[in-house]
Structure 1
Amino acid sequence: MLRTKVLFFICLYSAVSYVDSKRILGIFSMPSLSHQVVFRALTFQLAKRGHELVVFTPNPVSPADGIPNNITEIDTEPILSIPLIAGEIFNAPVILLSSFYGSSDIFEIMGALSWHPMYYPSFYRTKYKDLTLLEKIGAIYLEWRLIQASLATDEKQDEYLKARFGPNVPSVRELRNNVQMLFLNAHPIMGNNRPVPPSVVYLGGLHLKPPKPLPQYLQTHLDASTRGVVYVSFGTNVRPSNMDQDLLDAFLQAFKSLPYEILWKFDGDSLRSIPKNLLIQKWFPQRDLLLHRNIKAFVTQGGLQSSDEAIDAGVPLVGIPMLADQWYNVNKFVELGIGVRINALEMTADDLIEAVEKVINETSYRKAVRRIRDIINDQPESPLERAVWWTEHVLRHGGKHLRAPSANITWSEHLMLDVLLVVLGAFTALGTLLVFTCFKIRNLLKLY
């Protein structure tokens, strides 16, 4: 289920202090480096401010990259189960930190009961605009399946808790009452401007760092380009080397035909017939690369972190979604006018050539992405500063004063279905009695 496998990661804050510093336990169980980068942005900044952190992560920082002395990382390869129990054990407030969007069950915890499959679609949907009647029915069915999966996961988690901590351990729903804030690494624009209580804080671009100089060979390569450069990367979870050969051939044919230099983040050791204008590497400094003036377009799988970096750099996008939230993000590219979408299952070389030429030559795409960048950046503080401030606010005061009265109640409670059933039952009984009385009177009149 989403909550345990993909989305939410827990920060727990203890009451032990030394001057203004606190001891903070972070549990970030998502086994994906691109998501861990988001969490590190906050934990490293909290460490700089003097807090002591213990972090559980399946992707510890390499010693060569440097880690503050007041951060202890514990390598935990498997996904951790029920991190909410740590808040109960340490009697500490819990902050949920998402590396991208929220789901309906997590918004339910926070009391943001703005569930509507058309206005606020699940980010697992491959389409959310201009739906046919059948597609709308399918969307509602998907939301129902997600809710059922969440309930089934809760049951399994409750069984696990009882097996590990005894029969008197609180249920998962009870543990959620200790969740006092939710951080989302997304901008409200990308989340359809969902109405949320003050305990939900949007931090889109939390992982964005100040630019650094490019390696000299790469700087020289980019500076020397006269027609411009197209950057191609499918993130850390999609491996181009595992793509179908026909799809790989379509990429190579398109790259060969395009009049631009191509940089491709490719995880394999080799490619057959590499075009002269193509440079492949297993890794590029993507954030800094996108900021170079000669980058004309970004071909991406549509991951949220990559999308944030492209928008911040003002680079138009060609989205080829392949998994998870990528379809949702790429559909947002199209909706906002900052990019185009290609179906990977049907893509030909001509499709890719046309898409790249379109976002480069039609100036509306670059203007739109720069406009969205300016809107997102027009804030009184950076996302990281906001995250640190609210974290320390919870450290100082807790977060219960920010919780909505609807927090952690079920949809049946929110819709007052018990009251509705009583009222409907009363009307049904009254109607039945009225019909029965009418028949009785009619039969009596027949006797006379």
Structure 2
Amino acid sequence: MKSKGLSLLLLVFGSLLNIEQCSSEKILVLSFISTKSHKLTYMPLVEELGKRGHDVTVLSPILSPKPMKNVRDIMTIDGVNLMDKFIKEQNFDLFKMKEENKQMNPFLMFGWFEGVCRDTYDLPQVQAILNESFDLILMQPMFNDCALGLVYRLKAPLVLFSPVSIANFLAEKVGVYFPPSFIPNVMLGLPAEMNFFQRFQNFGMEVMIRATLYFLYEPKVEEIYREKLGNDIPSASEILGNASLILSNGHFSLHSPKPLMPDIVDVGGLHSAPAEPLPKDLEDFIKKGKDGFILFSMGSAIKGDMMPDAKRKMILNVFSKLKQQVLWKWESETMPDLPKNVKLSKWLPQQDLLGHKDIKMFITHCGGGSTEESIYHGVPLVGLPMMADQPTNADNAKKNGYLVELSWNDLTEEDFMGAIQEILNNPKYRDNVKKLSALFSDRPTDPLELGVYWVEYVLRHNGAPHLRSVGRKLNIFQYHSVDVIAAYVAIVSVALYVIFAVLRLICRKLCGSSKSKSSSNGVAIGKKQN
């Protein structure tokens, strides 16, 4: 009995030891180029992996807002100051660009990314990472692909995280091609149900993006990482094509449903969480009013202090006439002629404010993270979309009935006040967003739990190669059977040609023999007459 008890004790101890070993893998979260808003979308996943005992290293240009258990934060080039420097050097004024109907120049940004990438590779903290070993790498692509050389050298399974619902150009790296006939490109703001002209636009945009990536962007990042780490490193497409998994920050209740393979997992809402108590100064400010409060933020990339002064004064004038308190994210905490019911702050706990019982609406640029958080917390929107995916997000919100959209270029005091009053006085907007929130939240598994599960799944199964479809080995023509269709067309065409040629030959022979008979009959008749 003692022997059996001892064996059982050893077995339990061994099992516990194995569990501890399974939960202590080394994970590298890699980002050479990032914004605050993009990093915030995956930090809950990083924090949860650390809580579960994994040894997580975050290599990023932006430090995490707080220390986390088992998470080592290594900052590369100061991303915040670098972005501010770039905006000033390039006169990158989004408000002015919007008013002049100009689009962001990706070629200009490619040049900037190139310089940042080269400088990042030369940093001692990045070189030190090359001397470590990791069990898994979590990376956000999209203008961050220059870090793929480091990924290749470290030889660890790769998990990609898309901060927005996965785009076609990323999905196709792992063998999934979204049909442009019903999956609109995020840059165009088109509806899922497109007419012919919209499908024509969408198809053209997809071709242009592929050409830009293939002929311009990817060769440039490949040149950089090969220069820094060796010419034997394969192409960016090949490295991305070997990714074990893609976590997509999307959900079918918010975006057009997409045909996904098992190695692409939707975890939309991963960073959304129940509200926590507000700091005392914010709570005290909200309590000063009896009619609730309004939150106004244009995100982290759009700098409020670049706003034209005439528009700023107009917005302030509207706010001064409201009964509600207004919290406005601004780059400073002072402003001329600031009304008593308006409070400025360089930073605001957005989710905690959106989850507050007294919030009435969110005035927003319609960024992906902000829109998603408003849905999670059931808050209606006044939308001022500016660029990128924001018009698409605003269009979806408008169709779902929880947003009043305004044009920044045509914004007037009457329109702005009218939109605010429409949200305040018409309960349908809040009712609609509450319904969508219920759809968004109705899942068998919490998105954070789902994300952690799949990351650990890849760890448990050594990269999980069994998730990969053979579609990864096919190009776009093979994937859509264009080559097979062409072969069938050729076969049918040849067969029809042969049939037609044979019939024509038979017809000629029959016609020829008929003519010879009629001519011979004519000769015979002539002889008889003679």
Normalised by the size of structure 1, how large is the TM-score? 0.87
Structure richer in strand, relative to its length: 1
Map of 1:44 onto structure 2: 47
> For residue 197 of structure 2, what is the aligned residue in structure 1?
134
Q: Does 2:29 correspond to 1:26?
A: yes
* Equivalent position amino acid for 2:34 in 1: P
For residues 70-109 of structure 1, the aligned pairs below 5 Å read 70-76=71-77, 77=79, 78-79=116-117, 81-109=145-173
Distance 1:432 1:351 in 2: 67
Matches of residues 278-297 of structure 1 in structure 2 within 5 Å?
Answer: 278-297=342-361
Alpha-carbon distance change, 214 to 187 in structure 1, aligned in 2, over 3 angstroms: same
Q: Which residue in the other structure is 1:54 paired with? A: 57
SS in 2 for 1:296: strand
**Could you report, residue by residue, the CA deviation over 1:31-61 in whole angstroms, capped at 9, with x for unpaired residues?**
2111111222111211111111222211012
1:34-433 correspondence runs (5 A): 34-61=37-64, 65-76=66-77, 77=79, 78-79=116-117, 81-117=145-181, 119-128=182-191, 133-152=196-215, 153-268=217-332, 270-397=334-461, 398-407=463-472, 409-433=474-498
Percent identity for Structure 1 against Structure 2: 26
**C-alpha spacing 1:285/1:20, structure 2 compared with 1 (3 Å):** closer
- Whether the aligned pair in 1 keeps the contact of 2:364 and 2:370 (CA below 8 Å) is yes
Matching residue of 1:8: none
Structure 1 gap segments, 5+ residues each: 1-16
Take 1:144 and 1:70, find their aligned partners in 2: how far apart are those partners? 41
**Computing the radius of gyration over CA atoms, which structure comes out larger, 1 or 2?**
2
Question: Deviation of residue 353 (structure 1)?
Answer: 1.3
SS in 1 for 2:244: strand
User: In the TM superposition, what is the alpha-carbon distance from 1:323 to its structure 2 partner?
Assistant: 1.6
- Distance in 2 between the 1:232 and 1:422 partners? 58
On the 8 A contact 2:56/2:70 being kept in 1, the answer is no
Q: Which of structures 1 and 2 has the larger relative contact order (alpha carbons within 8 angstroms, sep 6+)?
A: 1
Structure 2 vs 1, CA of residues 337 and 95 (structure 1 numbering), >3 Å: closer, same or farther?
A: same
Aligned counterparts of 1:139 and 1:258: Cα–Cα separation in 2: 42
Task: After superposition, give the CA deviation of every residue in 1:333-368 in whole Å (9 maximum; x if it has no partner).
Answer: 112112121111111111111111112211111111
Report if the CA contact (8 A) 2:295-2:359 is conserved: yes
Note the alpha carbon deviations across 1:51-109, whole angstroms, 9 max, x for none.
112222110125xx324354242424535543334443233211101111211021112
Q: 2:480 corresponds to which letter in structure 1?
A: L
- C-alpha displacement of 1:396: 0.5
C-alpha distance in 2 between matches for 1:32 and 1:82: 16
Displacement of 1:166: 4.4
**RMSD (Å), alpha carbons:** 2.6
Q: Does the 8 Å CA contact 2:47/2:71 hold for their aligned counterparts?
A: no
Residues 234, 393 of structure 1: CA spacing in aligned structure 2 closer, same or farther, 3 A cutoff? same
| Corresponding residue number in structure 2 for 1:13 | none
How many angstroms apart in 2 are the aligned matches of 1:200 and 1:83?
21
- Aligned in 2, Cα 1:359/1:71: closer, same or farther, shift over 3 Å? same
- 8 Å contact kept, 1:173–1:408: no
Aligned with 1:273: secondary structure? coil
Distance 2:495 2:223 in 1: 44
Specify the SS of the correspondent of 1:97: strand
> 2:62–2:75: 8 Å Cα contact kept in structure 1?
no
- Decide whether aligned partners of structure 1 residues 130 and 177 sit closer, same or farther in structure 2, where only a CA change above 3 A counts: closer
Measured in 2, the distance between the counterparts of 1:19 and 1:290 equals 38
Displacement of 1:227 in angstroms is 2.0
Give the Å deviation of 1:181: 0.7
- Partners of 1:161 and 1:293 lie apart in 2 by 50
Deviation of the 1:129 alpha carbon:
5.9
Paired residues of 1:211 and 1:287 also in contact (CA < 8 A): yes
Quote the residue 1:3 is aligned against. none
The worse-fitting range, judged by mean Cα deviation, of 280-289 and 420-429 is 420-429
Q: Give the Å deviation of 1:163.
A: 4.1
> Contact 2:332–2:344 at 8 Å: present in 1 too?
no
Structure richer in helix, relative to its length: 2
Q: Is the 8 A contact 1:223 1:294 kept in 2?
A: no
Alignment partners' CA distance in 2, 1:216 and 1:162: 52
Q: Is the 8 A contact 2:183 2:192 kept in 1?
A: no
Instruction: Give CA deviations for 1:235-286 in whole Å, capped at 9, x if unaligned.
Output: 1011122122333233223223333222211224643433333222222221
What secondary structure does 1:235 align onto? coil
* Maintained 8 Å contact 2:375/2:433: yes
Instruction: Report the residue type matching 1:172 in the other structure.
Output: A
Question: Partner letter of residue 164 of structure 2?
Answer: F
The offset of 1:306, in angstroms, is 1.3
Instruction: Report the alpha carbon displacement of residue 168 of structure 1 after superposing the two structures with TM.
Output: 3.8
Partners of 1:132 and 1:196 lie apart in 2 by 24
